[in-house]
């Protein structure tokens, strides 16, 4: 998108978050909604803002997230990773702080596929002796 200082992509499980950053007053939008409205739980709001809190830059940037896939929790984790990557492109010095907090770790867990002859991915049919 034009007019943005930095952009990045974050992923967690099936969720993908595109992050756009520019200097501003601290306004955060998720899918064109204020992040307080999009993420209902306080823990998800906290997860989203962790990189900014770690760098003490909560009021320095206007941030826009576009997320899809997964659930709300994995979307918040994807936003955190994308935000960390975007902050790193603006200021490479902050990488060591964010890396120490573990914000660059991509959570690659995904749901295992269902196999034929099974009820679920691993659940076998009930055995009958007679």
pLDDT reported for residue 67: 95
| pLDDT value, residue 123 | 96
Which residue carries 């002796």 as its tokens? 129
Q: Are the C-beta atoms of 81 and 103 separated by less than 8 Å?
A: yes
Mean local confidence (pLDDT), 93-105: 90
For 1-45, the pLDDT digits (tens) are: 566 788 999 999 999 999 999 888 889 999 999 989 999 899 999
Predicted confidence (pLDDT) at residue 100 exceeds the cutoff of 80:
yes
Distance of CA 95 to the CA centre of its chain: 17
6-101: CATH architecture: 2-Layer Sandwich (3.30)
Count Cα neighbours of 20 within 13 Å in the Cβ-side half-sphere: 12
Burial class (CB in 10 A: 0-12, 13-18, 19+), 14: middle
pLDDT at res. 1:
59
Tell me which of 130 and 84 has the higher pLDDT.
84
Taking only the tens place, the pLDDT of each residue in 31-88 is 999 989 999 899 999 999 899 999 888 888 899 999 999 899 999 999 999 999 999 9
Predicted local confidence at residue 29, as pLDDT: 92
């Amino acid at each position: 998108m034009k007019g943005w200082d930095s952009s990045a992509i974050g992923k967690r499980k099936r969720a993908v978050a595109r992050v756009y950053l520019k200097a501003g007053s601290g306004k955060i939008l998720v899918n064109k909604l204020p992040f307080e409205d999009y993420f209902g739980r306080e823990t998800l709001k906290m997860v989203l803002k962790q990189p900014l809190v770690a760098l003490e830059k909560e009021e320095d940037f206007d941030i826009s997230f576009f997320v899809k896939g997964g659930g709300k929790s994995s979307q918040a984790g994807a936003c955190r990773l994308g935000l960390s990557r975007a902050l790193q492109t603006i200021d490479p010095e902050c990488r060591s702080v964010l890396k120490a907090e573990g914000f660059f770790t991509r959570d690659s867990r995904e749901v295992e596929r269902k196999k034929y002859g099974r009820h679920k991915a691993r659940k076998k049919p009930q055995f009958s002796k007679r």
